[in-house]
Chain A
Protein backbone atom coordinates (compact mmCIF):
# COMPACT_ATOMS: atom_id res chain seq x y z
CA UNK A 1 0.00 0.00 0.00
CA UNK A 2 2.69 2.47 1.04
CA UNK A 3 4.68 1.31 -1.95
CA UNK A 4 1.89 2.33 -4.31
CA UNK A 5 1.63 5.77 -2.73
CA UNK A 6 5.35 6.35 -3.22
CA UNK A 7 5.28 4.83 -6.69
CA UNK A 8 2.38 7.00 -7.84
CA UNK A 9 4.03 10.08 -6.38
CA UNK A 10 7.30 9.27 -8.12
CA UNK A 11 5.63 8.65 -11.47
CA UNK A 12 3.39 11.72 -11.29
CA UNK A 13 6.16 14.07 -10.29
CA UNK A 14 8.43 12.52 -12.89
CA UNK A 15 5.81 13.09 -15.60
CA UNK A 16 5.27 16.64 -14.39
CA UNK A 17 9.00 17.24 -14.45
CA UNK A 18 9.20 16.18 -18.08
CA UNK A 19 6.09 18.02 -19.22
CA UNK A 20 6.46 21.36 -17.48
CA UNK A 21 8.11 24.15 -19.39
CA UNK A 22 9.29 25.99 -16.31
CA UNK A 23 12.71 24.65 -15.40
CA UNK A 24 12.42 25.65 -11.77
CA UNK A 25 9.18 23.72 -11.31
CA UNK A 26 10.87 20.80 -12.99
CA UNK A 27 13.63 21.05 -10.37
CA UNK A 28 11.18 21.05 -7.50
CA UNK A 29 9.19 18.14 -8.87
CA UNK A 30 12.48 16.29 -9.19
CA UNK A 31 12.67 16.77 -5.43
CA UNK A 32 9.38 14.92 -4.99
CA UNK A 33 10.56 12.14 -7.31
CA UNK A 34 13.80 11.69 -5.39
CA UNK A 35 12.00 11.70 -2.05
CA UNK A 36 9.52 9.05 -3.19
CA UNK A 37 12.37 6.93 -4.51
CA UNK A 38 14.05 7.23 -1.11
CA UNK A 39 10.79 6.04 0.45
CA UNK A 40 10.74 3.03 -1.86
CA UNK A 41 14.33 2.22 -0.93
CA UNK A 42 13.36 2.21 2.73
CA UNK A 43 10.55 -0.23 1.95
CA UNK A 44 13.15 -2.46 0.29
CA UNK A 45 15.23 -2.53 3.52
CA UNK A 46 17.92 -0.43 1.83
CA UNK A 47 18.13 2.24 4.51
CA UNK A 48 21.68 3.25 3.65
CA UNK A 49 20.82 3.75 -0.01
CA UNK A 50 17.78 5.80 0.98
CA UNK A 51 19.78 8.15 3.18
CA UNK A 52 22.51 8.38 0.56
CA UNK A 53 19.87 9.22 -2.02
CA UNK A 54 18.72 12.12 0.13
CA UNK A 55 22.23 13.23 0.94
CA UNK A 56 23.72 13.09 -2.56
CA UNK A 57 20.82 13.85 -4.83
CA UNK A 58 18.65 16.16 -2.74
CA UNK A 59 21.38 17.78 -0.68
CA UNK A 60 23.92 17.95 -3.47
CA UNK A 61 22.82 17.52 -7.05
CA UNK A 62 19.38 19.10 -6.75
CA UNK A 63 20.66 22.12 -4.87
CA UNK A 64 23.32 22.55 -7.53
CA UNK A 65 20.70 22.36 -10.28
CA UNK A 66 18.45 24.89 -8.54
CA UNK A 67 21.39 27.16 -7.90
CA UNK A 68 22.33 26.99 -11.55
CA UNK A 69 18.79 27.81 -12.67
CA UNK A 70 18.44 30.67 -10.22
CA UNK A 71 21.78 32.24 -11.03
CA UNK A 72 21.22 32.06 -14.76
CA UNK A 73 17.68 33.43 -14.81
CA UNK A 74 15.86 36.54 -13.69
CA UNK A 75 18.27 38.39 -15.93
CA UNK A 76 15.50 39.27 -18.33
CA UNK A 77 12.96 39.14 -15.54
CA UNK A 78 11.26 35.93 -16.56
CA UNK A 79 11.56 32.34 -15.49
CA UNK A 80 13.71 29.97 -17.47
CA UNK A 81 11.62 28.06 -19.95
CA UNK A 82 12.79 24.98 -21.76
CA UNK A 83 12.35 24.64 -25.50
CA UNK A 84 11.48 21.77 -27.78
CA UNK A 85 14.18 20.72 -30.20
CA UNK A 86 14.84 17.54 -32.20
CA UNK A 87 11.18 16.48 -31.98
CA UNK A 88 11.34 13.65 -34.51
CA UNK A 89 14.53 12.02 -33.32
CA UNK A 90 13.51 12.44 -29.69
CA UNK A 91 10.20 10.68 -30.25
CA UNK A 92 11.76 7.85 -32.21
CA UNK A 93 14.52 7.15 -29.68
CA UNK A 94 12.19 7.35 -26.68
CA UNK A 95 9.75 5.00 -28.36
CA UNK A 96 12.53 2.52 -29.16
CA UNK A 97 13.85 2.62 -25.60
CA UNK A 98 10.30 2.08 -24.30
CA UNK A 99 9.77 -0.94 -26.55
CA UNK A 100 13.16 -2.34 -25.57
CA UNK A 101 12.46 -2.00 -21.88
CA UNK A 102 8.99 -3.57 -22.17
CA UNK A 103 10.47 -6.44 -24.13
CA UNK A 104 13.19 -7.02 -21.52
CA UNK A 105 10.87 -6.79 -18.53
CA UNK A 106 8.23 -9.07 -20.06
CA UNK A 107 10.81 -11.70 -20.98
CA UNK A 108 12.91 -11.48 -17.84
CA UNK A 109 10.66 -13.73 -15.76
CA UNK A 110 11.92 -12.11 -12.57
CA UNK A 111 9.98 -14.39 -10.24
CA UNK A 112 11.97 -17.42 -11.31
CA UNK A 113 15.41 -15.98 -10.45
CA UNK A 114 17.20 -18.45 -8.17
CA UNK A 115 18.35 -15.92 -5.55
CA UNK A 116 14.84 -14.53 -5.32
CA UNK A 117 13.41 -18.00 -4.71
CA UNK A 118 15.80 -18.69 -1.87
CA UNK A 119 15.84 -15.21 -0.36
CA UNK A 120 14.73 -14.72 3.20
CA UNK A 121 12.10 -12.08 3.95
CA UNK A 122 13.99 -11.05 7.10
CA UNK A 123 16.72 -9.42 5.05
CA UNK A 124 18.44 -7.67 7.89
CA UNK A 125 18.55 -10.60 10.29
CA UNK A 126 20.34 -9.64 13.47
CA UNK A 127 21.76 -6.45 11.98
CA UNK A 128 20.02 -3.18 12.68
CA UNK A 129 20.93 -1.75 9.30
CA UNK A 130 22.74 -2.61 6.10
CA UNK A 131 25.66 -0.33 6.95
CA UNK A 132 27.89 -3.02 8.47
CA UNK A 133 27.44 -5.34 5.51
CA UNK A 134 28.06 -2.55 3.01
CA UNK A 135 31.16 -1.41 4.87
CA UNK A 136 32.66 -4.90 4.98
CA UNK A 137 31.91 -5.49 1.31
CA UNK A 138 33.45 -2.15 0.33
CA UNK A 139 36.65 -2.90 2.20
CA UNK A 140 37.00 -6.49 0.93
CA UNK A 141 35.32 -7.57 -2.31
CA UNK A 142 34.82 -4.14 -3.87
CA UNK A 143 37.84 -2.23 -2.66
CA UNK A 144 39.33 -1.71 -6.14
CA UNK A 145 36.18 -0.26 -7.76
CA UNK A 146 35.73 1.87 -4.65
CA UNK A 147 39.24 3.31 -4.87
CA UNK A 148 39.00 3.78 -8.64
CA UNK A 149 35.76 5.70 -8.18
CA UNK A 150 37.37 7.93 -5.57
CA UNK A 151 40.33 8.55 -7.88
CA UNK A 152 37.96 9.44 -10.70
CA UNK A 153 36.12 11.90 -8.48
CA UNK A 154 39.40 13.45 -7.41
CA UNK A 155 40.41 13.93 -11.04
CA UNK A 156 37.03 15.46 -11.80
CA UNK A 157 37.42 17.81 -8.85
CA UNK A 158 40.87 18.92 -9.97
CA UNK A 159 39.60 19.39 -13.53
CA UNK A 160 36.70 21.51 -12.29
CA UNK A 161 39.03 23.62 -10.18
CA UNK A 162 41.35 24.07 -13.15
CA UNK A 163 38.54 25.12 -15.49
CA UNK A 164 37.14 27.51 -12.92
CA UNK A 165 40.48 29.18 -12.22
CA UNK A 166 40.85 32.68 -13.48
CA UNK A 167 43.65 32.23 -16.02
CA UNK A 168 45.33 35.56 -16.31
CA UNK A 169 47.78 36.26 -19.10
CA UNK A 170 50.80 37.74 -17.43
Chain B
Protein backbone atom coordinates (compact mmCIF):
# COMPACT_ATOMS: atom_id res chain seq x y z
CA UNK B 1 0.00 0.00 0.00
CA UNK B 2 2.82 2.38 0.90
CA UNK B 3 4.63 1.46 -2.32
CA UNK B 4 1.43 2.17 -4.22
CA UNK B 5 1.06 5.65 -2.78
CA UNK B 6 4.74 6.50 -3.11
CA UNK B 7 4.86 5.38 -6.72
CA UNK B 8 1.70 7.33 -7.48
CA UNK B 9 3.10 10.48 -5.88
CA UNK B 10 6.40 10.09 -7.71
CA UNK B 11 4.62 9.46 -10.98
CA UNK B 12 2.36 12.48 -10.56
CA UNK B 13 5.27 14.78 -9.85
CA UNK B 14 7.29 13.41 -12.78
CA UNK B 15 4.30 13.81 -15.09
CA UNK B 16 3.72 17.41 -13.95
CA UNK B 17 7.36 18.22 -14.63
CA UNK B 18 7.11 16.47 -17.97
CA UNK B 19 3.98 18.36 -18.99
CA UNK B 20 5.72 21.62 -18.16
CA UNK B 21 8.90 20.52 -19.94
CA UNK B 22 6.89 19.56 -23.00
CA UNK B 23 5.58 23.09 -23.37
CA UNK B 24 8.86 24.78 -22.59
CA UNK B 25 10.95 22.52 -24.84
CA UNK B 26 8.44 22.92 -27.64
CA UNK B 27 8.52 26.68 -27.18
CA UNK B 28 12.29 26.95 -27.19
CA UNK B 29 12.60 24.73 -30.23
CA UNK B 30 10.22 27.01 -32.06
CA UNK B 31 11.94 30.15 -30.78
CA UNK B 32 9.05 31.06 -28.49
CA UNK B 33 8.96 31.62 -24.75
CA UNK B 34 6.25 29.15 -23.73
CA UNK B 35 4.35 29.65 -20.48
CA UNK B 36 5.69 32.63 -18.55
CA UNK B 37 2.85 33.97 -16.41
CA UNK B 38 2.06 31.39 -13.71
CA UNK B 39 4.86 31.19 -11.17
CA UNK B 40 8.54 31.78 -11.91
CA UNK B 41 9.18 31.07 -15.62
CA UNK B 42 5.65 29.71 -15.87
CA UNK B 43 6.54 26.69 -13.78
CA UNK B 44 3.09 26.45 -12.19
CA UNK B 45 1.39 26.25 -15.57
CA UNK B 46 1.11 22.45 -15.60
CA UNK B 47 -0.26 22.33 -12.05
CA UNK B 48 -2.86 24.94 -12.89
CA UNK B 49 -3.81 23.08 -16.05
CA UNK B 50 -4.53 19.98 -14.00
CA UNK B 51 -6.55 22.00 -11.47
CA UNK B 52 -8.57 23.52 -14.31
CA UNK B 53 -9.26 20.07 -15.76
CA UNK B 54 -10.45 18.78 -12.40
CA UNK B 55 -12.98 21.60 -12.09
CA UNK B 56 -14.51 21.06 -15.50
CA UNK B 57 -17.81 19.34 -16.00
CA UNK B 58 -17.64 15.62 -16.60
CA UNK B 59 -19.50 15.32 -19.89
CA UNK B 60 -20.72 11.95 -21.08
CA UNK B 61 -22.13 12.13 -24.61
CA UNK B 62 -25.81 11.15 -24.79
CA UNK B 63 -25.22 8.62 -27.54
CA UNK B 64 -22.15 7.10 -25.93
CA UNK B 65 -22.02 3.63 -24.46
CA UNK B 66 -21.98 5.02 -20.93
CA UNK B 67 -20.50 2.19 -18.89
CA UNK B 68 -17.68 1.52 -21.37
CA UNK B 69 -17.04 5.24 -21.77
CA UNK B 70 -16.66 5.69 -18.02
CA UNK B 71 -14.62 2.55 -17.45
CA UNK B 72 -12.06 3.05 -20.23
CA UNK B 73 -9.84 5.79 -18.70
CA UNK B 74 -9.59 3.84 -15.46
CA UNK B 75 -8.60 0.66 -17.27
CA UNK B 76 -6.01 2.45 -19.39
CA UNK B 77 -4.39 4.14 -16.43
CA UNK B 78 -4.54 1.01 -14.27
CA UNK B 79 -2.77 -1.00 -16.99
CA UNK B 80 0.03 1.52 -17.34
CA UNK B 81 0.35 2.08 -13.63
CA UNK B 82 0.51 -1.65 -12.93
CA UNK B 83 3.65 -1.71 -15.04
CA UNK B 84 5.43 0.46 -12.50
CA UNK B 85 5.08 -2.26 -9.88
CA UNK B 86 8.15 -4.13 -11.06
CA UNK B 87 10.48 -1.19 -11.74
CA UNK B 88 13.35 -1.03 -9.23
CA UNK B 89 13.89 2.54 -8.10
CA UNK B 90 16.94 1.92 -5.91
CA UNK B 91 18.90 -1.18 -4.80
CA UNK B 92 16.43 -1.61 -1.92
CA UNK B 93 13.22 -0.10 -3.20
CA UNK B 94 11.21 -2.07 -5.70
CA UNK B 95 7.42 -2.10 -5.30
CA UNK B 96 7.07 -5.78 -6.24
CA UNK B 97 10.28 -7.67 -6.98
CA UNK B 98 8.81 -10.63 -8.79
CA UNK B 99 11.01 -13.08 -10.67
CA UNK B 100 9.37 -12.60 -14.06
CA UNK B 101 9.20 -8.81 -13.94
CA UNK B 102 10.08 -8.17 -17.59
CA UNK B 103 7.52 -10.65 -18.87
CA UNK B 104 4.88 -9.34 -16.48
CA UNK B 105 5.50 -5.81 -17.68
CA UNK B 106 5.08 -6.77 -21.33
CA UNK B 107 1.89 -8.64 -20.48
CA UNK B 108 0.25 -6.04 -18.27
CA UNK B 109 0.96 -3.16 -20.61
CA UNK B 110 -0.90 -4.98 -23.37
CA UNK B 111 -4.07 -4.47 -21.29
CA UNK B 112 -3.76 -0.83 -22.25
CA UNK B 113 -4.83 -1.77 -25.78
CA UNK B 114 -8.16 -3.15 -24.60
CA UNK B 115 -8.80 0.11 -22.76
CA UNK B 116 -8.08 2.10 -25.90
CA UNK B 117 -10.57 0.03 -27.89
CA UNK B 118 -13.10 0.49 -25.10
CA UNK B 119 -12.65 4.27 -25.16
CA UNK B 120 -12.85 4.46 -28.93
CA UNK B 121 -15.97 2.34 -29.12
CA UNK B 122 -17.67 3.82 -26.08
CA UNK B 123 -17.39 7.36 -27.40
CA UNK B 124 -19.61 6.52 -30.37
CA UNK B 125 -17.67 8.91 -32.52
CA UNK B 126 -16.02 8.27 -35.86
CA UNK B 127 -12.85 10.11 -34.98
CA UNK B 128 -12.49 8.37 -31.66
CA UNK B 129 -13.09 5.01 -33.30
CA UNK B 130 -10.55 5.62 -36.06
CA UNK B 131 -8.05 6.94 -33.55
CA UNK B 132 -8.44 3.89 -31.34
CA UNK B 133 -8.10 1.55 -34.32
CA UNK B 134 -4.94 3.24 -35.53
CA UNK B 135 -3.52 3.39 -32.05
CA UNK B 136 -4.13 -0.29 -31.37
CA UNK B 137 -2.80 -1.39 -34.76
CA UNK B 138 0.33 0.62 -34.13
CA UNK B 139 0.86 -0.59 -30.57
CA UNK B 140 0.31 -4.25 -31.46
CA UNK B 141 2.73 -4.02 -34.41
CA UNK B 142 5.48 -2.22 -32.53
CA UNK B 143 5.27 -4.60 -29.59
CA UNK B 144 7.14 -7.09 -31.76
CA UNK B 145 10.42 -5.17 -32.33
CA UNK B 146 10.20 -3.80 -28.78
CA UNK B 147 9.72 -7.30 -27.39
CA UNK B 148 12.61 -8.67 -29.44
CA UNK B 149 14.91 -5.86 -28.30
CA UNK B 150 13.97 -6.56 -24.67
CA UNK B 151 14.51 -10.26 -25.31
CA UNK B 152 18.09 -9.67 -26.43
CA UNK B 153 18.80 -7.75 -23.22
CA UNK B 154 17.20 -10.54 -21.21
CA UNK B 155 19.36 -13.10 -23.02
CA UNK B 156 22.51 -11.21 -22.08
CA UNK B 157 21.42 -10.83 -18.46
CA UNK B 158 19.95 -14.34 -18.12
CA UNK B 159 17.22 -12.99 -15.92
CA UNK B 160 13.67 -11.70 -16.09
CA UNK B 161 14.00 -9.89 -12.78
CA UNK B 162 14.50 -6.15 -13.22
CA UNK B 163 16.35 -5.88 -9.93
CA UNK B 164 18.81 -8.63 -10.87
CA UNK B 165 19.39 -6.98 -14.25
CA UNK B 166 20.05 -3.72 -12.43
CA UNK B 167 22.59 -5.24 -10.06
CA UNK B 168 24.45 -6.82 -12.96
CA UNK B 169 25.16 -3.45 -14.50
CA UNK B 170 27.32 -1.88 -11.80
CA UNK B 171 29.83 -2.18 -9.03
CA UNK B 172 27.25 -3.69 -6.67
CA UNK B 173 27.19 -6.94 -8.66
CA UNK B 174 28.38 -9.03 -5.73
CA UNK B 175 25.82 -7.52 -3.37
CA UNK B 176 22.98 -9.40 -5.08
CA UNK B 177 22.27 -12.76 -3.47
CA UNK B 178 23.27 -15.56 -5.83
CA UNK B 179 25.71 -13.49 -7.87
CA UNK B 180 28.64 -13.35 -5.44
CA UNK B 181 30.99 -15.05 -7.90
CA UNK B 182 29.87 -13.42 -11.12
CA UNK B 183 32.32 -11.31 -13.08
CA UNK B 184 31.86 -8.53 -15.60
CA UNK B 185 34.39 -8.49 -18.44
CA UNK B 186 35.16 -5.60 -20.77
CA UNK B 187 32.61 -5.76 -23.63
CA UNK B 188 31.45 -8.95 -21.96
CA UNK B 189 34.20 -10.99 -23.61
CA UNK B 190 36.12 -13.11 -21.16
CA UNK B 191 38.94 -13.71 -23.67
CA UNK B 192 39.99 -10.07 -23.44
CA UNK B 193 40.77 -10.75 -19.79
CA UNK B 194 39.94 -7.26 -18.52
CA UNK B 195 37.85 -7.54 -15.39
CA UNK B 196 35.45 -4.60 -15.06
CA UNK B 197 33.56 -5.90 -12.04
CA UNK B 198 35.21 -3.42 -9.71
CA UNK B 199 35.52 -0.67 -12.31
CA UNK B 200 31.78 -0.38 -12.75
CA UNK B 201 30.30 2.79 -14.15
CA UNK B 202 29.46 2.89 -17.83
CA UNK B 203 31.73 -0.08 -18.59
CA UNK B 204 29.24 -2.45 -16.99
CA UNK B 205 26.10 -0.99 -18.52
CA UNK B 206 24.32 -3.37 -20.83
CA UNK B 207 24.98 -1.28 -23.94
CA UNK B 208 28.71 -1.49 -23.12
CA UNK B 209 28.77 -5.04 -21.79
CA UNK B 210 27.29 -6.31 -25.02
CA UNK B 211 27.69 -3.66 -27.73
CA UNK B 212 24.92 -5.05 -29.94
CA UNK B 213 22.51 -3.97 -27.23
CA UNK B 214 23.17 -0.41 -28.35
CA UNK B 215 21.30 -1.33 -31.54
CA UNK B 216 18.66 -3.07 -29.45
CA UNK B 217 18.32 0.07 -27.34
CA UNK B 218 17.74 2.25 -30.40
CA UNK B 219 15.18 -0.23 -31.75
CA UNK B 220 13.44 -0.30 -28.39
CA UNK B 221 13.44 3.47 -28.15
CA UNK B 222 11.88 3.93 -31.58
CA UNK B 223 9.30 1.23 -30.88
CA UNK B 224 8.52 2.75 -27.50
CA UNK B 225 7.80 6.08 -29.14
CA UNK B 226 5.22 4.28 -31.24
CA UNK B 227 3.81 2.44 -28.25
CA UNK B 228 3.20 5.63 -26.35
CA UNK B 229 1.73 7.32 -29.46
CA UNK B 230 4.40 9.98 -29.51
CA UNK B 231 5.48 11.90 -32.56
CA UNK B 232 6.64 10.94 -35.16
CA UNK B 233 4.27 8.04 -34.58
CA UNK B 234 1.23 10.06 -33.60
CA UNK B 235 -1.16 9.29 -36.43
CA UNK B 236 -3.66 7.98 -33.83
CA UNK B 237 -3.99 11.54 -32.59
CA UNK B 238 -3.36 13.34 -35.86
CA UNK B 239 -4.95 16.69 -35.09
CA UNK B 240 -5.44 17.67 -38.70
CA UNK B 241 -7.57 14.66 -39.56
CA UNK B 242 -8.87 13.07 -36.35
CA UNK B 243 -9.25 16.11 -34.06
CA UNK B 244 -7.65 14.29 -31.12
CA UNK B 245 -7.97 10.56 -31.61
CA UNK B 246 -9.59 8.19 -29.16
CA UNK B 247 -9.99 10.77 -26.38
CA UNK B 248 -11.85 13.34 -28.44
CA UNK B 249 -15.08 13.00 -26.44
CA UNK B 250 -13.51 13.08 -23.00
CA UNK B 251 -13.46 16.09 -20.74
CA UNK B 252 -12.69 17.06 -17.17
CA UNK B 253 -11.39 14.41 -14.82
CA UNK B 254 -11.60 11.58 -17.32
CA UNK B 255 -9.53 13.49 -19.81
CA UNK B 256 -7.01 14.23 -17.06
CA UNK B 257 -6.74 10.50 -16.36
CA UNK B 258 -6.18 9.69 -20.04
CA UNK B 259 -3.61 12.45 -20.26
CA UNK B 260 -1.91 11.11 -17.15
CA UNK B 261 -1.91 7.59 -18.58
CA UNK B 262 -0.31 8.80 -21.78
CA UNK B 263 2.46 10.62 -19.98
CA UNK B 264 2.89 7.70 -17.56
CA UNK B 265 3.39 5.46 -20.55
CA UNK B 266 6.19 7.73 -21.74
CA UNK B 267 7.79 7.61 -18.30
CA UNK B 268 7.35 3.85 -18.09
CA UNK B 269 8.96 3.07 -21.44
CA UNK B 270 11.84 5.39 -20.62
CA UNK B 271 12.32 3.72 -17.25
CA UNK B 272 12.33 0.30 -18.88
CA UNK B 273 14.87 1.47 -21.45
CA UNK B 274 17.09 2.84 -18.68
CA UNK B 275 16.82 -0.30 -16.55
CA UNK B 276 17.43 -2.74 -19.38
CA UNK B 277 20.05 -0.91 -21.41
CA UNK B 278 21.46 2.15 -19.68
CA UNK B 279 22.64 0.68 -16.40
CA UNK B 280 19.47 1.14 -14.37
CA UNK B 281 20.20 2.99 -11.13
CA UNK B 282 23.96 2.59 -11.50
CA UNK B 283 26.30 5.52 -11.83
CA UNK B 284 27.87 6.27 -15.24
CA UNK B 285 31.23 7.16 -13.65
CA UNK B 286 33.79 4.33 -13.52
CA UNK B 287 36.44 3.71 -10.87
CA UNK B 288 39.74 4.86 -12.34
CA UNK B 289 42.69 3.82 -10.17
CA UNK B 290 42.63 5.81 -6.96
CA UNK B 291 39.73 7.96 -8.12
CA UNK B 292 36.93 5.69 -6.97
CA UNK B 293 34.30 7.68 -8.84
CA UNK B 294 31.86 4.78 -9.09
CA UNK B 295 32.05 3.93 -5.41
CA UNK B 296 31.71 7.58 -4.40
CA UNK B 297 28.64 8.08 -6.52
CA UNK B 298 26.98 4.80 -5.59
CA UNK B 299 26.86 4.91 -1.81
CA UNK B 300 26.31 1.76 0.20
CA UNK B 301 23.41 -0.62 -0.21
CA UNK B 302 20.78 -0.28 2.47
CA UNK B 303 22.02 3.10 3.62
CA UNK B 304 20.35 6.40 2.75
CA UNK B 305 23.24 7.44 0.52
CA UNK B 306 22.86 4.36 -1.68
CA UNK B 307 19.15 4.96 -2.13
CA UNK B 308 19.52 8.65 -2.88
CA UNK B 309 22.30 8.17 -5.41
CA UNK B 310 20.42 5.34 -7.12
CA UNK B 311 17.18 7.30 -7.35
CA UNK B 312 19.10 10.31 -8.61
CA UNK B 313 20.82 8.37 -11.40
CA UNK B 314 17.70 6.51 -12.40
CA UNK B 315 15.59 9.65 -12.59
CA UNK B 316 18.20 11.75 -14.35
CA UNK B 317 18.74 9.09 -17.03
CA UNK B 318 14.97 8.80 -17.42
CA UNK B 319 14.65 12.54 -17.85
CA UNK B 320 17.34 12.52 -20.51
CA UNK B 321 15.36 9.92 -22.46
CA UNK B 322 12.14 11.85 -21.93
CA UNK B 323 13.86 14.94 -23.26
CA UNK B 324 14.87 13.00 -26.35
CA UNK B 325 11.23 12.01 -26.79
CA UNK B 326 10.17 15.66 -26.70
CA UNK B 327 13.03 16.60 -28.97
CA UNK B 328 12.00 13.97 -31.53
CA UNK B 329 8.47 15.31 -31.49
CA UNK B 330 9.55 18.72 -32.73
CA UNK B 331 12.16 17.40 -35.14
CA UNK B 332 10.44 14.78 -37.24
CA UNK B 333 7.23 15.09 -39.22
CA UNK B 334 4.50 12.52 -38.71
CA UNK B 335 4.87 9.21 -40.55
CA UNK B 336 2.26 8.02 -43.01
CA UNK B 337 0.56 4.70 -42.27
CA UNK B 338 2.48 2.84 -44.96
CA UNK B 339 5.78 4.31 -43.77
CA UNK B 340 4.85 3.32 -40.24
CA UNK B 341 4.25 -0.30 -41.19
CA UNK B 342 7.29 -0.35 -43.48
CA UNK B 343 9.50 0.81 -40.63
CA UNK B 344 8.06 -1.72 -38.22
CA UNK B 345 7.94 -4.86 -40.34
CA UNK B 346 10.70 -4.37 -42.89
CA UNK B 347 13.31 -2.46 -40.92
CA UNK B 348 12.95 -2.81 -37.17
CA UNK B 349 11.72 -6.41 -36.93
CA UNK B 350 14.47 -8.01 -39.10
CA UNK B 351 17.07 -5.87 -37.38
CA UNK B 352 15.76 -6.90 -33.97
CA UNK B 353 15.87 -10.56 -34.99
CA UNK B 354 19.50 -10.13 -36.05
CA UNK B 355 20.27 -8.51 -32.71
CA UNK B 356 18.65 -11.42 -30.86
CA UNK B 357 20.88 -13.85 -32.77
CA UNK B 358 23.96 -11.73 -32.08
CA UNK B 359 23.03 -11.52 -28.39
CA UNK B 360 22.80 -15.30 -28.23
CA UNK B 361 26.28 -15.70 -29.72
CA UNK B 362 27.67 -12.94 -27.52
CA UNK B 363 26.32 -14.67 -24.45
CA UNK B 364 28.44 -17.70 -25.32
CA UNK B 365 31.55 -15.50 -25.30
CA UNK B 366 30.64 -14.06 -21.92
CA UNK B 367 30.75 -17.24 -19.89
> Which residues of B (139-196) have their CB < 8 Å from a CB of A?
140, 143, 160-161
> Which residues of B (40-84) have their CB < 8 Å from a CB of A?
68
When the two chains form the complex, which single residue of B98, B113, B121 contacts A24, counting CB atoms closer than 8 Å?
B121
| Chain B residues whose CB sits within 8 angstroms of the CB of A128 once the complex forms | 98-99, 161
| Chain A residues whose CB sits within 8 angstroms of the CB of B107 once the complex forms | 51-52, 54-55, 58-59
Q: Are B114 and A58 in contact (CB under 8 A)?
A: yes
Closest B residue to A74 by CB, please name it. B129
- Is A131 positioned at the interface, with any CB of B under 8 Å from its CB? yes
- Is B133 positioned at the interface, with any CB of A under 8 Å from its CB? yes
Closest B residue to A127 by CB, please name it. B99
Q: Are B110 and A54 in contact (CB under 8 A)?
A: yes
When the two chains form the complex, which single residue of B100, B106, B111, B133 contacts A47, counting CB atoms closer than 8 Å?
B100
User: In the complex, what distance in Å separates the CA atom of A54 from the CA atom of B103?
Assistant: 10
- Is B117 positioned at the interface, with any CB of A under 8 Å from its CB? yes
B156 CB, min distance to chain A CBs, angstroms = 16
- Is B104 positioned at the interface, with any CB of A under 8 Å from its CB? yes
When the two chains form the complex, which single residue of A52, A63, A74, A129 contacts B140, counting CB atoms closer than 8 Å?
A63
- Is B118 positioned at the interface, with any CB of A under 8 Å from its CB? yes
Q: Are B68 and A59 in contact (CB under 8 A)?
A: no
When the two chains form the complex, which single residue of A31, A62, A74, A129 contacts B99, counting CB atoms closer than 8 Å?
A129
- Is A9 positioned at the interface, with any CB of B under 8 Å from its CB? no
When the two chains form the complex, which single residue of B103, B114, B160 contacts A55, counting CB atoms closer than 8 Å?
B103
Q: Are B68 and A63 in contact (CB under 8 A)?
A: no
- Is B108 positioned at the interface, with any CB of A under 8 Å from its CB? yes
- Is B314 positioned at the interface, with any CB of A under 8 Å from its CB? no
| Chain A residues whose CB sits within 8 angstroms of the CB of B99 once the complex forms | 47, 127-129, 131
Contact status of A66 and B133, CB under 8 A, knowing A48-B103, A51-B104: no
* Chain A interface main SS type: helix
| Chain B residues whose CB sits within 8 angstroms of the CB of A3 once the complex forms | none
Closest A residue to B115 by CB, please name it. A31
- Is A28 positioned at the interface, with any CB of B under 8 Å from its CB? yes
User: In the complex, what distance in Å separates the CA atom of A24 from the CA atom of B161?
Assistant: 36
- Is A123 positioned at the interface, with any CB of B under 8 Å from its CB? no
User: In the complex, what distance in Å separates the CA atom of A28 from the CA atom of B118?
Assistant: 8
- Is B258 positioned at the interface, with any CB of A under 8 Å from its CB? no
> Which residues of A (19-61) have their CB < 8 Å from a CB of B?
24, 28, 31, 47-48, 51-52, 54-55, 58-60
- Is B136 positioned at the interface, with any CB of A under 8 Å from its CB? yes
| Chain B residues whose CB sits within 8 angstroms of the CB of A28 once the complex forms | 68, 114, 118
A60 CB, min distance to chain B CBs, angstroms = 8
| Chain A residues whose CB sits within 8 angstroms of the CB of B106 once the complex forms | 51, 55
Q: Are B117 and A59 in contact (CB under 8 A)?
A: no
When the two chains form the complex, which single residue of A70, A127, A131 contacts B121, counting CB atoms closer than 8 Å?
A70
Q: Are A70 and B133 in contact (CB under 8 A)?
A: yes
- Is A142 positioned at the interface, with any CB of B under 8 Å from its CB? no
Q: Are B113 and A59 in contact (CB under 8 A)?
A: yes
| Chain A residues whose CB sits within 8 angstroms of the CB of B103 once the complex forms | 48, 51-52, 55, 131
- Is A67 positioned at the interface, with any CB of B under 8 Å from its CB? yes
User: In the complex, what distance in Å separates the CA atom of A38 from the CA atom of B98?
Assistant: 15
| Chain B residues whose CB sits within 8 angstroms of the CB of A63 once the complex forms | 110, 113-114, 117, 136, 140
Closest B residue to A62 by CB, please name it. B114
User: In the complex, what distance in Å separates the CA atom of A127 from the CA atom of B159?
Assistant: 12
User: In the complex, what distance in Å separates the CA atom of A48 from the CA atom of B120?
Assistant: 31
A46 CB, min distance to chain B CBs, angstroms = 11
Q: Are A54 and B108 in contact (CB under 8 A)?
A: yes
9 tightest A-B contacts by CB? Answer: A59-B110, A129-B99, A128-B99, A54-B107, A55-B107, A51-B107, A51-B103, A129-B100, A66-B117
Supply 6 further A-B pairs (C-beta < 8 A) apart from A62-B114, A63-B136: A47-B98, A51-B106, A54-B111, A59-B140, A63-B110, A74-B129
Residues of B within 8 A of A (CB): 68, 98-100, 103-104, 106-108, 110-111, 113-114, 117-118, 120-121, 129, 133, 136, 140, 143, 160-161
